[in-house]
């Protein structure tokens, strides 16, 4: 059995970096609450896969480099950098060929082995600046 820290590493390396969540269904079963930029919404594995797919369409080499990961009994704190090259359409933006490297922080809360809540903090200003250079 893997620790929740191992599960979180897999979510970011295999899920985001590889574009798939096979083997993580137990941790991502049901719904979880996702908090970002003052909003909250319920999500499930299909919703998460859709978000990852959209990002990977715009940034095919997208991956997270994990700088720090600290795990407690039911919470994992993660500091990472989102890195990729804008080679495909992303939202309403045509490809620019620009490389991005954006700081991210996450708190992920688990109940048992299942993810139930995610808090995300993304450096939006750095992302906008790097997309417009």
Q: How far apart are CA 79 and CA 67, in angstroms?
A: 6
Within 10 Å of residue 67's Cβ, how many Cβ atoms?
A: 12
Q: How much is the pLDDT for 133?
A: 64
Q: How much is the pLDDT for 132?
A: 84
Q: How much is the pLDDT for 73?
A: 93
The torsion defined by the Cα of 7, 101, 128 and 69, in degrees rounded to 10, comes to 30
Asked if 81 and 104 count as a contact pair (C-beta separation under 8 A), the reply is yes
Q: How much is the pLDDT for 22?
A: 87
> Hey, which residues does 77 pair with through a beta bridge?
70, 107
Q: How much is the pLDDT for 23?
A: 86
Tell me the three state secondary structure of residue 51.
Answer: helix
Within 10 Å of residue 34's Cβ, how many Cβ atoms?
A: 18
Those residues whose C-beta lies under 8 Å from the C-beta of residue 79, and which sit 6 or more positions away, are 66, 67, 68, 69, 103, 104, 105
Give the residues of the chain that fall short of pLDDT 50: 1
> Hey, which residues does 106 pair with through a beta bridge?
78, 120
């Amino acid at each position: 059995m893997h620790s929740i820290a191992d599960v979180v590493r897999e979510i970011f390396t295999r899920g985001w970096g590889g574009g798939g969540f096979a083997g993580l269904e137990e941790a991502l079963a049901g719904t979880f609450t996702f908090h970002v930029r003052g909003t909250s919404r319920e999500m499930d594995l299909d919703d998460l896969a859709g978000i990852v797919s959209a990002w990977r369409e715009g940034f095919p080499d997208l991956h997270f480099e994990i700088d720090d990961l600290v795990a407690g009994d039911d919470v994992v704190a993660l500091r990472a950098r989102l890195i990729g090259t804008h080679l495909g359409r992303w939202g309403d933006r045509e490809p620019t060929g620009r490389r991005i490297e954006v700081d991210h922080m996450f708190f992920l809360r688990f109940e048992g082995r299942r993810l139930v809540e995610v808090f995300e903090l993304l450096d939006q200003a750095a992302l906008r600046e790097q997309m417009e250079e």
